[in-house]
């Protein structure tokens, strides 16, 4: 079920594109608040937040974990109690297929309202914090230097 999101008409992230505008605004505001807060913090505090972001579960991970838990439970119940439980397994698989193709399935709006973010949203905050921490200062901005081999410096900046 693709819904038009006027806040992000050109959004490439399927989950964001299918998120209610109010929920999307709330998630984006949280990211901005976090960046503003950490902009005033010392480097070691920013580093700790980046580590937290590396551990944060994304929408996709939550959805996959919940779907597989429900699917395995209903499969076990279908094999031992009643074959009717297998309908739930089929429903979960249909939801996963819908999410894979459309970026939406019934649990997604609930999870988004709970503030669960996509990997892209988590990464947006993470790389803004890395910028604030100064991780990208060693990357040359001179076009002539960039023609050389900036891959090593870029790779170092992106790693931690």
Question: In the structure, what pLDDT confidence band is assigned to residue 2 with cuts at 50, 70 and 90?
Answer: very low
Residues 105 and 33 in one domain: no
- Spatial distance between the Cα atoms of 90 and 71, rounded to a whole number of angstroms: 8
- Please name the residue ranges forming H helices in 81-106: 86-102
Q: Examine the pLDDT at 126 and tell me if it is beyond 80.
A: yes
Give pLDDT tens digits for 84-123: 999 999 999 999 999 999 999 999 999 999 999 999 999 9
Say if CB 120 and CB 93 are below 8 A apart.
Answer: no
Q: Is residue 139 part of a domain?
A: no
| 104 is a domain residue | yes
- Residue 57: the pLDDT is 98
Residue with tokens 């279908």: 78
8-64 residue pLDDT tens:
445 578 999 999 999 999 999 999 999 999 999 999 999 999 999 999 999 999 999
pLDDT reported for residue 88: 97
Do 77 and 108 lie in one domain? The reply is yes
Specify if 5 maps to a domain: no
CB atoms within 10 A of CB 154: 15
73 and 48 in a single domain? The answer is no
What's the confidence (pLDDT) of residue 1? 41
Q: What φ, ψ does residue 5 adopt, rounded to 5°?
A: -110, 105
17 in a structural domain: no
pLDDT of residue 154: 64
Whether residues 51 and 63 fall in one domain: no
- Residues 52 and 72 occupy one common structural domain: no
CB 34 within 8 A of CB 28: no
Residue 67 lies in a domain: yes
* Same domain? 69 vs 108: yes
* Domain count for the chain: 2
Q: Is residue 124 part of a domain?
A: yes
Range of the domain at 88: 58-116
Phi, psi torsion values for 82, nearest 5 degrees: -155, 140
């Amino acid at each position: 079920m693709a819904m038009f999101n006027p806040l992000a008409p050109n959004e490439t992230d399927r989950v964001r594109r299918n998120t209610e505008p109010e929920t999307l605004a709330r998630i984006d505001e949280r990211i901005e608040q976090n960046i503003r807060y950490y902009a005033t913090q010392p480097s070691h505090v920013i580093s700790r937040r980046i580590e937290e972001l590396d551990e944060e579960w994304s929408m996709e991970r939550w959805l996959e974990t919940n779907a597989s838990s429900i699917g395995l439970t209903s499969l076990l119940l279908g094999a031992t109690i009643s074959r009717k439980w297998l309908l739930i397994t089929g429903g979960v698989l249909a939801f996963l297929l819908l999410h894979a193709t459309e970026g939406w399935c019934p649990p997604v709006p609930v999870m988004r309202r709970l503030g669960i973010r996509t990997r892209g949203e988590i990464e947006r905050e993470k790389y803004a914090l890395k910028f604030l921490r100064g991780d990208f200062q060693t990357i040359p901005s001179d076009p002539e230097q960039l023609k050389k081999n900036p891959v090593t410096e870029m790779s170092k900046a992106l790693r931690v």
